[in-house]
Chains A and B, each alone.
Chain A
């Protein structure tokens, strides 16, 4: 059984650019949640996808958007990057929205 994987592991962008982060969910999981973790903080919920539909969103602006594909993998897109977007971006997958979530290793994004 393959765990949750994320790509890339690290990324450096400049302010104003756009970025796409990818997540492959654990085999059989149909729900993917994305979190932003700033240095020294706990993860903050961005949004969740369940069976290819957005199933809840945290307090993040519309320039944070996402997709879930038929194989339940997912993308997080961030437009017009700001310096404060520098963080570890985590995705987690589960059998369903209320079930235990399993986290990937994260993508470390640095915005200069």
Chain B
């Protein structure tokens, strides 16, 4: 059983479209991170959210932490082919990172 559920698992869209990835759990986390991973490489940290209800923006990416600190979302506006990759959410619990299974995003030109 996955402690952190990500949806969708796969997403294939055209350049310029918007998308949202969801990360849900029944557990409370002290913080939640979003990572992007390219094939053959380690995950690269995009953002950390700590406070319930927090919203952070990173250019065309908007991250939100749920009020109860159990869920999060990542919204990408006007997706570009360079956004292609595996997006992972991870919750911090007791100093350990617990990952979702990832969302594989493909943005076609």
Contacts and interface: CB of A to CB of B under 8 A. Distances in A.
Interface stretch (A11-19, A40-48, A62-70, A71-79): A40-48
B91 to A, nearest CB: 11
Interface in B1-52: 4, 6, 30, 33, 35, 40-45, 48
Residue among A41, A55, A56, A90 with the highest chain B CB neighbour number at 10 A: A41
Interface stretch (B55-63, B64-72, B75-83, B96-104): B96-104
A2 B99 CA distance: 25
Contacts of A108: 40
A110 to B, nearest CB: 13
Residue among B41, B45, B97, B102 with the highest chain A CB neighbour number at 10 A: B97
B101 A33 contact: no
A9 B70 CA distance: 35
Interface string A98-110: 1011111110100
29 contacts: A4-B42, A35-B99, A40-B102, A41-B101, A41-B102, A42-B6, A42-B88, A42-B90, A42-B99, A42-B101, A42-B102, A43-B90, A43-B97, A55-B95, A56-B95, A58-B96, A90-B42, A92-B97, A97-B95, A98-B92, A98-B95, A100-B33, A100-B48, A101-B97, A103-B35, A103-B44, A105-B41, A106-B42, A108-B40
